[in-house]
Protein backbone atom coordinates (compact mmCIF):
# COMPACT_ATOMS: atom_id res chain seq x y z
CA UNK A 1 0.00 0.00 0.00
CA UNK A 2 1.09 3.52 -0.74
CA UNK A 3 2.62 5.46 2.14
CA UNK A 4 0.45 8.37 0.96
CA UNK A 5 -2.60 6.61 2.42
CA UNK A 6 -2.82 6.66 6.20
CA UNK A 7 -4.85 4.12 8.16
CA UNK A 8 -7.17 5.80 10.63
CA UNK A 9 -8.34 4.52 14.00
CA UNK A 10 -11.07 5.70 16.33
CA UNK A 11 -8.39 7.79 18.10
CA UNK A 12 -6.90 9.39 14.97
CA UNK A 13 -10.09 9.82 12.91
CA UNK A 14 -11.17 13.34 13.98
CA UNK A 15 -7.69 14.78 13.60
CA UNK A 16 -7.19 12.86 10.34
CA UNK A 17 -10.15 14.57 8.64
CA UNK A 18 -9.94 17.96 10.36
CA UNK A 19 -8.07 19.98 7.74
CA UNK A 20 -8.51 20.43 4.02
CA UNK A 21 -10.09 17.81 1.79
CA UNK A 22 -9.82 14.19 2.88
CA UNK A 23 -11.15 11.09 1.14
CA UNK A 24 -11.77 8.26 3.61
CA UNK A 25 -12.07 4.76 2.21
CA UNK A 26 -14.30 2.73 4.53
CA UNK A 27 -13.20 -0.84 3.76
CA UNK A 28 -12.81 -4.37 5.10
CA UNK A 29 -10.09 -6.95 4.36
CA UNK A 30 -12.64 -9.56 3.23
CA UNK A 31 -14.36 -7.17 0.78
CA UNK A 32 -13.38 -8.01 -2.83
CA UNK A 33 -14.54 -4.65 -4.31
CA UNK A 34 -12.50 -2.90 -1.59
CA UNK A 35 -9.38 -4.72 -2.75
CA UNK A 36 -10.33 -3.84 -6.33
CA UNK A 37 -10.52 -0.11 -5.64
CA UNK A 38 -7.33 0.05 -3.54
CA UNK A 39 -4.93 0.56 -6.50
CA UNK A 40 -7.28 3.24 -7.85
CA UNK A 41 -7.25 5.22 -4.59
CA UNK A 42 -3.46 4.79 -4.43
CA UNK A 43 -3.12 6.26 -7.93
CA UNK A 44 -5.41 9.16 -7.02
CA UNK A 45 -3.50 9.76 -3.78
CA UNK A 46 -0.36 10.21 -5.88
CA UNK A 47 -2.16 12.38 -8.42
CA UNK A 48 -3.78 14.67 -5.80
CA UNK A 49 -0.74 14.77 -3.47
CA UNK A 50 -0.66 18.09 -1.62
CA UNK A 51 -4.29 18.85 -2.52
CA UNK A 52 -6.33 15.93 -1.16
CA UNK A 53 -5.46 13.52 1.66
CA UNK A 54 -6.45 9.87 1.29
CA UNK A 55 -7.13 7.74 4.38
CA UNK A 56 -8.55 4.27 5.09
CA UNK A 57 -10.72 3.02 7.93
CA UNK A 58 -11.25 -0.70 8.54
CA UNK A 59 -14.97 -1.01 9.32
CA UNK A 60 -14.48 -4.34 11.13
CA UNK A 61 -12.06 -2.78 13.59
CA UNK A 62 -13.96 0.50 14.04
CA UNK A 63 -17.64 -0.35 13.56
CA UNK A 64 -19.01 2.62 15.58
CA UNK A 65 -17.33 5.07 13.15
CA UNK A 66 -18.71 3.28 10.11
CA UNK A 67 -22.16 3.37 11.72
CA UNK A 68 -21.77 7.06 12.55
CA UNK A 69 -21.18 7.81 8.86
CA UNK A 70 -23.93 5.36 7.77
CA UNK A 71 -21.63 3.10 5.78
CA UNK A 72 -23.92 0.27 4.68
CA UNK A 73 -22.07 -0.99 1.59
CA UNK A 74 -18.43 -1.22 0.74
CA UNK A 75 -16.37 0.25 -0.51
CA UNK A 76 -17.70 3.64 0.54
CA UNK A 77 -15.54 6.70 0.02
CA UNK A 78 -16.59 9.71 2.07
CA UNK A 79 -15.16 13.08 1.08
CA UNK A 80 -14.61 15.40 4.03
CA UNK A 81 -13.91 19.12 3.83
CA UNK A 82 -12.55 20.69 7.01
CA UNK A 83 -13.89 17.74 9.02
CA UNK A 84 -17.40 17.68 7.59
CA UNK A 85 -18.71 15.07 5.13
CA UNK A 86 -19.54 16.76 1.82
CA UNK A 87 -19.95 13.78 -0.53
CA UNK A 88 -20.02 10.00 -0.63
CA UNK A 89 -19.20 7.47 -3.30
CA UNK A 90 -20.57 3.96 -2.85
CA UNK A 91 -19.15 1.09 -4.85
CA UNK A 92 -16.19 0.68 -7.14
CA UNK A 93 -16.13 3.34 -9.87
CA UNK A 94 -13.65 3.81 -12.72
CA UNK A 95 -10.73 6.12 -11.92
CA UNK A 96 -11.99 8.86 -14.29
CA UNK A 97 -15.33 9.07 -12.48
CA UNK A 98 -13.67 9.15 -9.05
CA UNK A 99 -11.20 11.82 -10.18
CA UNK A 100 -14.05 13.95 -11.50
CA UNK A 101 -16.09 13.63 -8.28
CA UNK A 102 -13.08 14.56 -6.13
CA UNK A 103 -12.16 17.52 -8.36
CA UNK A 104 -15.61 19.03 -7.73
CA UNK A 105 -14.53 19.69 -4.13
CA UNK A 106 -11.23 21.42 -4.89
Q: What is the pLDDT of residues 20-73, one digit of tens each?
A: 999 999 999 999 999 999 999 999 999 999 999 999 999 999 999 999 999 999
pLDDT surpasses 70 at 1: no
Residue 4 binned pLDDT confidence (cut-offs 50, 70, 90): confident
Q: DSSP assignment, residue 58? A: E
Q: Using CA atoms, how far apart are residues 83 and 47, in angstroms rounded to an integer?
A: 22
Considering the candidates 31, 43, 93, 101, report the single residue annotated as catalytic.
31
How far is C-alpha 41 from the geometric centre of its chain's CA atoms?
8
User: Is residue 90 scored above 70 in pLDDT?
Assistant: yes
pLDDT above 70: residue 2: no
- Look at residue 92 in the predicted model and tell me its pLDDT: 86
| CATH pick for 5-103 out of 3.40.30.10, 3.40.50.620, 3.40.50.2300, 3.50.50.60 | 3.40.30.10
Task: Kindly list the distances between the CA atom of residue 24 and the CA atoms of 6, 7, 41, 78, 96, in Å, as whole numbers in the listed order.
Answer: 9, 9, 10, 5, 18
| 31 labelled catalytic | yes
Pairing of strands 84-90, 52-58: unpaired
The confidence score (pLDDT) of residue 86 equals 97
Could you tell me the CA-to-CA distances from 44 to 15, 36, 47, 69, 84 in Å, in that order?
21, 14, 5, 22, 21
Average pLDDT of span 60-87: 95
The single residue of 8, 34, 45, 89 carrying the catalytic annotation is: 34
Amino acid sequence: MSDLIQHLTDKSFSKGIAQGITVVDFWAPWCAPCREIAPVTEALATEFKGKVAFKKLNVDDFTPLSEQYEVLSMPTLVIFKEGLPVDRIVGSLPIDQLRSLIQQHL
